[in-house]
Structure 1
Amino acid sequence: MTGIIRIVTIFLFFYHKFANFQTLVPKSLCTFVSFVKMNSVNQNIEIQNKTITLTIKREDLLHPFVSGNKFRKLKYNILKAKELNHDKLITFGGAFSNHIAAVAFACQEAGIESVGIIRGNELVGKIQENPTLLFAQNCGMKFEFVSREVYQNKMSESFISELNTKYGNHYLLPEGGTNVLAILGCEEILINEDAHFDYICCAVGTGGTISGIINSATPNQKILGFPALKGDFLKDEIRKFAKNNNWELIANYHFGGYGKVTDELIGFINQFYMDVKIPLDPIYTGKMVYGVMNLIANNYFPNGSKILMIHTGGLQGISGMNGLLEKKKMNKIVFDE
């Protein structure tokens, strides 16, 4: 199993390093991989605290383009869109959105037209400069760029009415992909073999992934969520979908808010790859893993604890993030051997 993990990790490494998500994706490739049920593998991580067992679930290896929790969130939504005979799917996201990239590929594979409502009308005419948007466009996604003010009201009746008038028969998917069907998909992340873990740790964005994990976890497991952004509203979002109360948010590791990074975080991600050869993204999983390691160092977990971290993917955004880091003259994320 370790050999399989290594092979796939090397594939993803070289894809990110050389393809950089900027090369045109052939249509034949976009229809090559079947959108089927899959289970990810667990990989043990050696740590200095020998009384604690640390494992990471490699959801990032599920699919090279529809990675991690995006695979889970999109699975039943794509199937529902096909069932309802919708000829297009509309969704929302930012300039480097993992969701936008994943939706574009999944829709291309499913034979559904995709439309992305993108935050920031300053991006008009700059698709070639943006690896995420270029990838999505190469998979067939059409874009509608809107101002940040309009984007804040994207779910208003008036804006939805405009979409209905303009695009006709379509399937509407929220930003981040979180809805009831997404939760159903995320409930498949944990499998029977994961029942022996005491703690399940995952990053939190819109609350969909952790809600699915909460619903499928055993009663004796504690679910720890690490928000990637500031704000207490996430608790209410999770309560909309979560059926159990065995969860807690650890809100001290967002590094300033959504999309915010520091040299300390980047250094941790680079060192983690050097140590265990697992790439982490800086927006979600990188912050979560940093948080878990910090909690272990500060004796948060009882002796003998078995901890499972969920790697939710998001690696496609690293190229864009490195571009921003370079402009800020900050250290970049480097997955070198």
Structure 2
Amino acid sequence: MFTDIYSPLQQLKHQSRHQVQVKRDDLIDPYISGNKWRKLKYILQEVQEKSKSHIVTFGGAYSNHLVATAAACCRAGLKSTAFVRGEQVENEMLALCKLFGMNLIFTDRTSYKDKNSLFSIHYGDDQDAFFVDEGGACTEAVEGCAEIIGELPNNIDHIFCAAGTGTTAAGLLKGIHQQGLKTQLHVIPVLKGGDFIADEIVSYTGKSDQLTLHTDYHFGGYAKTQPELIHFMKSFIAEEGMLIDPVYTSKMFFAIDDLLKKDYFKANEKILAIHTGGLLGIMGMKDKF
């Protein structure tokens, strides 16, 4: 399941004056998409090595991570359970989770904050259960995301990625260090006050002068949008023929365009954006289009 992948590089048409490519991790799989595929690769390997048969994880009602985990567990013959943050709801994402066999436990927001306690109370005596944090954040996920760098040309000057927890970014920076590259990693936090993500990244990689955070492109916060972002997203998709989502990748591509307009980069520098997938999240904002 985690062997052959299809993730080509694609030049952006609307940035023909610049060398901007996209690593199409969104094409790896329709449900185990992008960075979720990368994160789950070694998580599932550890589950199998420890002879576990039940993954227990966490997420919001429109979590791409939950769908990806449900699909991956279904294909691997594993049981899956998710603690879903907030009141009980029904939507397209959760319907997919249930179709893939995932058990959903809706949890009030206060209890949800202590995920280890939830796991212990419900599954502490279950020897088959394996804890996976929200978004798949862990060292195994970082290891999986680090492999992206080995699939890229070694002459990229700048790599961009959107960030919610910083796990994918940590993997990218780790891969840059492992390959001995001079590439600069640019991280676009998608939530307000995203400076803390730098600490999350550094906790996995150590401090680095090859890391830059751009914290002014959150458009109001996590899963928040503004008309300017939605207009950009619709124009981008129509011109490129490439779907992007309003929560993560739209904010990243908007940031790249804005920095190019401001002459942030030197002439002829090569820029690459990581398309981390997560496109099913579009369904949670379909009323905005």
Aligned residue in 1 for 2:97: 136
| Map 1:159-178 → 2, pairs under 5 A | 159-165=118-124, 167-178=126-137
Counterpart amino acid of residue 28 in structure 2: L
Residues 1:198 and 2:165 aligned together: no
Counterpart amino acid of residue 142 in structure 1: N
Counterpart amino acid of residue 275 in structure 1: E
From 198, 213, 217, give the equivalent of 2:172: 213
Q: Which runs of 5+ in 2 are unaligned?
A: none
Q: Which runs of 5+ in 1 are unaligned?
A: 1-33, 333-337
Counterpart amino acid of residue 232 in structure 2: F
| Map 1:74-223 → 2, pairs under 5 A | 74-120=40-86, 122-123=87-88, 126-127=89-90, 130-155=91-116, 158-165=117-124, 167-191=126-150, 193-217=152-176, 218-223=180-185
Distance change (3 Å), C-alpha of 1:47 and 1:136: same
Please state how far the C-alpha of 1:161 moved relative to its aligned partner: 2.1
Aligned to 1:211, the other structure's residue is in SS state helix
Aligned to 2:246, the other structure's residue is in SS state coil
Please state how far the C-alpha of 1:38 moved relative to its aligned partner: 2.6
**CA RMSD after TM alignment:** 1.5
Aligned residue in 2 for 1:286: 250
Please state how far the C-alpha of 1:37 moved relative to its aligned partner: 4.5
Please state how far the C-alpha of 1:190 moved relative to its aligned partner: 1.9
The answer on whether the counterparts of 1:75 and 1:185 sit within 8 Å (CA) in structure 2 is yes
Q: Distance in 2 between matches of 1:76 and 1:192?
A: 17
The answer on whether the counterparts of 1:73 and 1:186 sit within 8 Å (CA) in structure 2 is yes
Percent identity over the alignment is: 38
Q: Distance in 2 between matches of 1:229 and 1:48?
A: 26
From 214, 217, 224, give the equivalent of 1:250: 214
The answer on whether the counterparts of 2:145 and 2:168 sit within 8 Å (CA) in structure 1 is yes
Residues 1:57 and 2:13 aligned together: no
Aligned residue in 2 for 1:265: 229
Aligned residue in 1 for 2:271: 307
The answer on whether the counterparts of 1:214 and 1:243 sit within 8 Å (CA) in structure 2 is no
Please state how far the C-alpha of 1:321 moved relative to its aligned partner: 1.7
Q: Distance in 2 between matches of 1:56 and 1:111?
A: 33
Please state how far the C-alpha of 1:39 moved relative to its aligned partner: 5.3
Aligned to 2:32, the other structure's residue is in SS state coil
Q: Distance in 2 between matches of 1:80 and 1:286?
A: 33
Please state how far the C-alpha of 1:159 moved relative to its aligned partner: 3.1
Please state how far the C-alpha of 1:160 moved relative to its aligned partner: 3.4
Q: Distance in 1 between matches of 2:44 and 2:198?
A: 27
Please state how far the C-alpha of 1:167 moved relative to its aligned partner: 4.3
1:249-298: CA deviation from partner (whole Å, max 9, x where unpaired): 10010111111011211111110011111110111111000111111011
Aligned residue in 1 for 2:11: 44
Q: Distance in 1 between matches of 2:230 and 2:67?
A: 23
Aligned to 1:191, the other structure's residue is in SS state helix
Q: After TM superposition, where is structure 1 displaced by more than 6 Å over at least 4 residues in a row? A: none
Scaled by the length of structure 1, what TM-score is found? 0.81
Aligned to 1:194, the other structure's residue is in SS state coil
Aligned to 2:273, the other structure's residue is in SS state strand
- Equivalenced residue count is 284
The answer on whether the counterparts of 1:215 and 1:243 sit within 8 Å (CA) in structure 2 is no
Aligned residue in 2 for 1:70: 36
Counterpart amino acid of residue 180 in structure 1: T
From 196, 203, 224, give the equivalent of 1:233: 196
Scaled by the length of structure 2, what TM-score is found? 0.94
Counterpart amino acid of residue 251 in structure 2: K
Please state how far the C-alpha of 1:230 moved relative to its aligned partner: 1.9
Counterpart amino acid of residue 134 in structure 1: A
Distance change (3 Å), C-alpha of 1:192 and 1:151: closer
The answer on whether the counterparts of 2:169 and 2:201 sit within 8 Å (CA) in structure 1 is yes
1:83-134: CA deviation from partner (whole Å, max 9, x where unpaired): 21111000000000010000000000011100000001x22xx33xx00000
Please state how far the C-alpha of 1:169 moved relative to its aligned partner: 2.3
Q: Distance in 2 between matches of 1:142 and 1:47?
A: 43
The answer on whether the counterparts of 1:59 and 1:311 sit within 8 Å (CA) in structure 2 is yes
Aligned residue in 2 for 1:10: none
